[in-house]
Amino acid sequence: MIAAVASGKGGTGKTTVTASLATVWGGPLVAVDLDVEEPNLHLFLRPTIEGREKAHLTVPVVDEARCNCCRACADLCQFAAISVMGSVILTFPEMCHGCGGCFAVCPEKALSCGQRELGEISWGRSGPVDFLSGRLRVGEAMSPPLMRRVKGRLQQMLGSVGGDAIIDAPPGVSCPAVNAVLDSDVILLVTEPTPFGFYDFRLAWQAFAPLGKPLGVVVNRAGLGHDAVYRFCRDQGLPLLAEIPYDRDIAAAYARGRIVADLSPELRETFLSLRGKIGDLARQCRPRKAVHA
Amino acid sequence: MREIIILSGKGGTGKTSLTGAFAHLAGGQVICDLDVDAPDLHLLLKPQRERREEFYSGHEARIDPAQCDGCGLCASLCQFGAIRENGGGLAIDPLRCEGCKVCVAFCPMEAIAFPEKHCGQWYLSSTRFGPLVHAQLLPGRENSGRLVMVLKQQARELAQARGAALLLCDGAPGIGCPVISSLSGAHLAVAVTEPTPSGRHDLERVADLCGHFQIPLAVVINKYDLNPEETGRIAGFCRERSYPVVGRLPHDLSVTAAMLRGLVVTELPDTAFSLGLKRTWSRIKGLAGLGCQGNAAPGGES
Amino acid sequence: MTMIAITSTGPSLDDQVDPRFGRAAGFLIVDLETMDTRYIDNGQSQVMAQGAGIQAAQLVARAGAGWVLTGFVGPKAFKALSATGIKVGQNLEGLTIRQALKRFKSGGIEVASGANRAGRGGR
């Protein structure tokens, strides 16, 4: 089972929930940080890193001796990564999405493979838990290509050791967030009961509900604001799987890098129960076929 | 006209609440919400929409099953795994489609259409603090960087037309495409951070990004009293890199209280937090070269 | 080369130099020998979020310009312009077209050696 922990709004507690679930999971688990723009999971799980590698995107390099500036590649490219200026062909590798169209369309075989560094993938162990993370290069604009690489490695890891995975997804509801939850079996939406939290929660629900995957809700900082999120869950039949109370001491402990599930027996129990409910949700819904699978 | 962008790297540090209060303190300047993915500023500013435009960006491929002979060439060329057998034939998953047109160009049956992609709306609105340029990306859509550019363009034109001294932008979390787009052309970036391991880590990344694009950076440490040691480390980092720390604000639930009433915190009676925020804003104005000249804020100084 | 492209807020010599290159309102193409001018509207670039600079470079190359006079040029546009041998004179915002031309003719504009704006136009 792959469970993705997502939220519309940033800072609602995705990483807190992911780290806490990882510590109470029991059984083989890969904890994956797919928030490649701002990866934070390692700050809480403090893994021993066993390996790392750079991830690259294949981009075109022009062999000017072969290129006759026919423009076929520039006409096909949707991302302005290749441009013909008179009798000069120019590439803008930072614009390339790696679709491979230019290579396929070039009649002169005048393009060879270059590379743009996307970032770094690292892996290791945190106690009994396997750890995997992507880290976008500062200045790189596109996170989905690196996320695809991280997910590729996750498949390898799951293929060799089996077990479950829990994914810390990026905030938001656009391409990176959707990319992170696309291959999961269950999506956990973490929110806080404030106007900002609720507004973004509803956006996340609109983005993720069409995927046809089971959704569960975790309310963090419960008691802080209003009850709109509870009413919404009731009306939409969304299961509320856990509540983490608002407590200044929890916030202060988090600020010191503590894992919330380790703070008290009650909180540990909250996450143990959440872990069980995630399993139930995945099992209940397994036969259902996702629309976009 | 000066352009200030409020950033955070990490989400949930209070960026939007602070931007709302700055918009109040600036008074009558042009405001722009560049977090098009999960915009929240409108929840505080209660905009009256005056203009609404649809936003189209890029294209998406669609297979016409009546013309497709199922040869599978498109699926083998697609680098994004977007084309799969779907019971009755090949189909394109719109969530995985990158809009690269490769399948369209190579389909021997010319069975793939390539319509423009409707990605959301943007709005020009009026608020009690001045005009707001904002947007809503349709949930699950891509290309928020492009929408950010459209918003900035509109906001700049509006600011110019009104002779505004300031364009105040609320940015998105992260360091990727929308944030990079939102930095372009800014005179000053203000990063709102919090004294947590994630807050400091993400601040360092967003600071590197600003360095990469040569945008001057100032830092606000919000909720500084949650972890004084971490606050010290953040201040040390800022000193080392010569980023001015323009504010240390306490953890204060009045921000949430204001949000629940649809207000910004400086509209409530003064607290230590809001007084600190006012001092923060005057330092930001100084750094951005706004000083006391131009259309300086009514009630901006305490 | 006697053709010059100036980013312009309008079609006349008394309009302002548009500080933007890729997203300029338009380009005034001036033949220095005859002083004939031609205005190319660039309005469609306002809604383009990427490649505006590259497209603008293509536009002025097609117009036969050997120089571009403007305010700011981004790195991609600069790369495209220099690839076609078009020289760039920058930081001319605040002048009218007439003033910029006068300064150019008097030799008061240097060939830029690189982009003077780090910003970029989104993915």
Partner chains of C (3+ C-beta pairs under 8 Å): A, B
A98 touches chain B (CB under 8 A): yes
Distance of CA A8 to the CA centre of its chain: 12
Residue C30 lies in a domain: yes
A201 touches chain B (CB under 8 A): no
Chain-chain contact of C76 with A92 (C-beta, under 8 angstroms)? yes
- Considering the segment(s) B61-114 as one domain, its CATH architecture is 2-Layer Sandwich (3.30)
Domain residue spans of chain A: 2-55+119-285, 58-117
Neighbours of B204 (CB within 10 A): 17
Q: How confident is the model at residue C48 (pLDDT cuts 50, 70, 90)?
A: low
pLDDT at residue B281 in the model: 98
Return all residues near B183 (Cβ < 8 A) that are at least 6 apart.
B5, B171, B189, B209, B210, B213, B215, C119
Q: How confident is the model at residue C117 (pLDDT cuts 50, 70, 90)?
A: low
Chain-chain contact of C49 with B213 (C-beta, under 8 angstroms)? no
| A87 to chain C: closest CA residue | C84
User: Residues of chain C with pLDDT > 70: what percent?
Assistant: 89
| A143 to chain C: closest CA residue | C123
Q: Looking at the partner chain, which of C50, C58, C61 has a beta carbon nearest the beta carbon of A95?
A: C50
Chain-chain contact of C84 with A141 (C-beta, under 8 angstroms)? no
d(CA A84, nearest CA chain C) in Å: 8
Work out whether strand B48-59 and strand B166-170 pair parallel, antiparallel, or are unpaired. Answer: unpaired
Residues on chain A touching C55 (C-beta within 8 angstroms): 80
pLDDT at residue B301 in the model: 30
Largest CA distance in chain B: 72
Q: Looking at the partner chain, which of A100, A204, A251 has a beta carbon nearest the beta carbon of B226?
A: A251
The whole domain housing C21 covers 3-48+59-67+76-105
Token duo for residue B10 = 């990490």
pLDDT at residue C50 in the model: 67
pLDDT at residue A85 in the model: 84
**ipTM over the 0.90 cut-off:** yes
Chain-chain contact of C61 with A141 (C-beta, under 8 angstroms)? no
Tell me, what amino acid is at B16?
Answer: T
User: Quick one: fold of A58-117?
Assistant: Alpha-Beta Plaits (3.30.70)
Neighbours of B20 (CB within 10 A): 31
Top CATH class, B2-56+120-287: alpha beta
Domain residue spans of chain B: 2-56+120-287, 61-114
pLDDT at residue C45 in the model: 72
Q: Is the pLDDT of residue A19 over 50?
A: yes
Distance of CA B221 to the CA centre of its chain: 19
pLDDT at residue A259 in the model: 97
Domain count, chain C: 1
Q: Looking at the partner chain, which of C50, C79, C83 has a beta carbon nearest the beta carbon of A80?
A: C50
Region A2-55+119-285: CATH code: 3.40.50.300
Mean pLDDT of B262-286: 97
Higher pLDDT among residues A291 and A261, named by residue: A261
Q: Is the pLDDT of residue C53 over 60?
A: yes
Place of tokens 């380009």: C27
Mean pLDDT of B251-280: 96
* pLDDT 10s digits, B289-300: 986 544 433 333
Residues on chain B touching A252 (C-beta within 8 angstroms): 226-227
B160 touches chain C (CB under 8 A): no
Closest CA to B222 of B21, B49, B3, B1: B21
DSSP code, position A262: G
* pLDDT 10s digits, A210-222: 999 999 999 999 9
Partner chains of B (3+ C-beta pairs under 8 Å): A, C
pLDDT at residue C1 in the model: 52
The A residues from 138 to 177 touching C (CB cutoff 8 Å) are 141-142
Q: How confident is the model at residue C52 (pLDDT cuts 50, 70, 90)?
A: confident
Q: Distances in Å between the alpha carbon of C44 and those of B107, B121, C22?
A: 31, 19, 11
* pLDDT 10s digits, A39-81: 999 999 999 999 999 999 999 999 999 999 999 999 999 998 9
* pLDDT 10s digits, A154-204: 999 999 878 999 999 999 998 899 999 999 999 999 999 999 999 999 999
Tell me, what amino acid is at B54?
Answer: E
Q: Looking at the partner chain, which of A9, A175, A206 has a beta carbon nearest the beta carbon of B142?
A: A175
Q: Looking at the partner chain, which of A38, A97, A225 has a beta carbon nearest the beta carbon of B98?
A: A97
Distance of CA A90 to the CA centre of its chain: 33
Mean pLDDT of C9-28: 91
Average pLDDT along chain A: 94
The A residues from 89 to 108 touching C (CB cutoff 8 Å) are 90, 92, 94-95
Q: Is the pLDDT of residue B154 over 60?
A: yes
A139 touches chain B (CB under 8 A): yes
The DSSP code sequence of C22-88 is TT-SEEEEEETTT--EEEEE-GGGGG--SSHHHHHHHHHHHTT-SEEE-SB--HHHHHHHHHTT-EE
Partner chains of A (3+ C-beta pairs under 8 Å): B, C
Chain-chain contact of A76 with B102 (C-beta, under 8 angstroms)? yes
Chain-chain contact of A83 with C58 (C-beta, under 8 angstroms)? yes
Residue C122 lies in a domain: no
Chain-chain contact of C83 with A95 (C-beta, under 8 angstroms)? no
Residue pairs spanning A and C at CB distance below 8 A: 36
| B154 to chain C: closest CA residue | C46
Q: Looking at the partner chain, which of C57, C61, C123 has a beta carbon nearest the beta carbon of A141?
A: C123
Higher pLDDT among residues B239 and C51, named by residue: B239
Q: Do residues A154 and A143 touch, judged by C-beta distance below 8 A?
A: no
| B56 to chain C: closest CA residue | C47
d(CA A80, nearest CA chain C) in Å: 6
